[in-house]
Structures are given as structure tokens and as C-alpha cells.
Amino acid sequence: MFFDPMYFLFALPPVLLMLWAQARIRSSYAHGMQIPAKLSGAAAAQHILDGAGVHDVGIEMTHGQLSDHYDPSNKMLRLSQEVYHGRTATAVGIAAHEAGHALQHATHFAPLMVRNAAVPAAQFGGTAFMILLVLGFMLRAPALIWLGIGAFACTLVFQVINLPVEFDASNRAKRLLPELGIVDQEGASAVSSVLNAAAWTYVAATLQSLMILLYYVMRFSGSSSRDD
């Protein structure tokens, strides 16, 4: 249960993809910070919201780096200090991405609604997976192991649903920033680079969950066959 070289064969591809994506983020983030934009991140997000007729979403500064997010329960965009005040392609790109989530919420974008509904199952799935897996092996109870695998599948489903939500928010940002004149051609290229790099981290995380799920399905299916 605790060591299997085969596990690393399944885990290695998404880990390498994640490392590559994080390196791209660092590079594109730093480059985009050198490209000026006409507005700060907060002002760009506000401009996007106002242009779409969304007037019930607030914007506030939060602590930490890359802590930017949209809180649908409170209808609040929370932007890190660097993004909130920054007048750079990186700042407006990230702010516009989060504003894109607010626009999705305002228009009842179907994948976002499904994702929000799936949050509790995703949060429960990872914890339940580990508990049921350990108990299943300790008690030699296959049913518990399969329940754990099923719980982890909920996490994977959430991540799959999340992909079109994130891609759509980024596509909105990449389209709206040049249309509104917030970035020029060079800035638009920098924004695309930052948001594309961030998208790969979501892909890597989803691939990691898929490979872990496949590993345990393969391993336990094989164990069940031998037991028969």
C-alpha cells in the first residue's frame, strides 16, 4: 500500500507538466509586470464590470501574492495588492480574469453554476478518499476502497468542470482588455501569455487527479482479480 514504483510512473507526467506550467507563470508574470497598461488592475476590473452593466460586485484588496479570486457568495472581487494597484499587463490580465468570473456569475454561465454546486462534493472527496483507502486496506474491505475511489472521482469531476470555467474567464479577459483600450498589442500579447500559463496549471492539476484515479483503479482491479 505504501510503496509501489508503478505509482511514480502515473504521477510523473502531471508533476512534470505542473513544473513546466509554474516556470511559464513565473516567466510570463515577470515579463508582463514590465509592460505598462492604461489602468490599474482594480480600475480595469471596474471598467469591465461597468461596461457589462454589472454594478453589484465590489472590488477590494487582499493579502498575499496570486491570491486573487472572485467570491460569488459575497459578490466580491478580491485582488492582491500588486494586482489591485499595478498598472501593468500582468495586473490587468489577472484582474480581468477574475472580473470574467463575475460576468459569468451575472449571466448564469452554466459551467460556473455546476462548478459552484459541486464544490462541497469536491472538498469532501479528497478527505474521504484518504480515510476510506486507509481503512479499506487495514480492514481488508474492498467495498471501502471502492467507496474511496468513488469519492476521489468527485474531485476529478469538479476539476474537469472547472476547466471551461477558467478558460472562458481568460478568453473574456483576453478579448475585453484590447477592445476597451486598456492594453495595446504588446500588452495583449503579455496578457495572453500570463493567462495561458495559468491555464496549464489547471490542466496539470486535472491530469494529476486523473492519473491518481487510474492508478488506484488499476491496482485494486488487479488485486481483486488475483483474489478471485
pLDDT in tens, 71-110: 999 999 999 999 999 999 999 999 999 999 999 999 999 9
Q: Tell me the residue range of the domain where 24 lies.
A: 5-221
User: Are residues 124 and 151 in contact, defined by beta-carbon separation less than 8 angstroms?
Assistant: yes
Our count of domains for the chain comes to: 1
Q: Which member of 98, 166, 179, 186 is catalytic?
A: 98
Q: Is residue 10 part of a domain?
A: yes
177 in a structural domain: yes
Residue 35 in any domain: the answer is yes
228 in a structural domain:
no
Instruction: Report if residue 227 sits inside a domain.
Output: no
Evaluate if residue 224 carries a pLDDT over 80. no
Asked whether residue 226 is assigned to any structural domain, the reply reads no
Interatomic CA distance for residues 116 and 34, integer angstroms: 35
Whole-structure pTM value:
0.89
pLDDT at residue number 228: 47
Asked if 98 is an active-site residue, the reply is yes
Q: What is the Cα–Cα distance from 140 to 14, expressed in whole angstroms?
A: 30
On whether residue 146 sits in a domain, the answer given is: yes
Convert the pLDDT of each residue in 136-182 to its tens digit.
Answer: 988 989 999 999 999 999 999 999 999 999 999 999 999 999 999 99
Burial class (CB within 10 angstroms; exposed 0-12, middle 13-18, buried 19+) of 217: middle
Ramachandran bin of 154, using left for φ above 0, alpha for ψ from -120 to 50, beta for the remaining angles: alpha
Please check whether residue 134 lies inside any domain of the structure.
Answer: yes
